[in-house]
Amino acid sequence: MSVTSDRSEILVEISAVEQKLSELKAETRLAEEKLNSLKHTLQNLEGFQSVGTDPSTPDSSHPHHTAEEKVALFRSLFRGRNDVYPRMWINSKTGKKGYSPACDNEWVRGICDKPRIKCGDCPNQSFVDVTTKTLLDYLKGLHVIGV
């Protein structure tokens, strides 16, 4: 084996290792964002146990509140449209993230033309209402939504 072929093999291997490191960094960044989101959600849920002294809101003297009570408190603190909400997405390959309207037809074959047609321009829009389940799933950290 010549020095030239050894050098080119080493350069190829260096390139492969650099690519792997880049992928791992992107995965780490996504995992850190998810962890921070979960910690934030947990803090919000725990905060429900110590909010105010109004008997209609949860506090430490009433530690067991129903899911409906927690959602009612959340709705009283955050207002937005009830007929549609944005759901966060993250591209696992590039790490790019953004929000799109939650739609019942999203990625349904023959109905949804993503990514060719943007949600806002789609003739088959079927946006999802904000429900108690939607908010509970958000508070549990199952997905991220916007207002």
pLDDT recorded at residue 108 = 94
The DSSP H or E segment spanning 87 is strand 86-90
Same-domain pairing of 90 and 53 = no
Question: Does residue 91 lie within any of the structural domains?
Answer: yes
pLDDT the model gives residue 60 = 47
* Residue span of the structural domain in which 5 resides: 1-78
Q: Are residues 39 and 111 in the same domain?
A: no
How many other C-beta atoms can be found within 10 angstroms of the C-beta atom of residue 135? 19
Q: What is the pLDDT of residue 47?
A: 61
Same domain, 57 and 11: yes
Q: Are residues 73 and 98 in the same domain?
A: no
* CA-closest candidate to residue 130, choices 75, 89, 85, 99: 85
Strand-pair partners of 103? 127
Q: Check residue 26 and give its pLDDT.
A: 84
Instruction: Based on the fold, state whether residues 58 and 102 are members of the same structural domain.
Output: no
pLDDT at 125: 92
How far is residue 4 from each of residues 7, 8, 26, measured CA to CA in Å? Answer: 5, 6, 33
Overall domain count for the chain: 2
pLDDT the model gives residue 51: 44
Boundary residue ending a domain (38, 60, 78): 78
* Intra-chain end-to-end CA distance of the chain, in Å: 63
Specify the DSSP class assigned to residue 128: P
139 inside domain? no
Is residue 17 situated within a structural domain? yes
User: What pLDDT, on a 0 to 100 scale, did the predictor assign at position 2?
Assistant: 53
- Cross-strand bridge partners of residue 127: 103
Is the distance from CB of 36 to CB of 44 less than 8 angstroms?
no
- Torsion, Cα of 71, 78, 82, 45 (10° steps): -30
Per-block average pLDDT, block size 10, for the chain (147 residues)? 73 90 85 83 66 45 74 87 90 91 92 88 92 90 88
Regarding whether 71 and 90 lie in a shared domain, the answer is: no
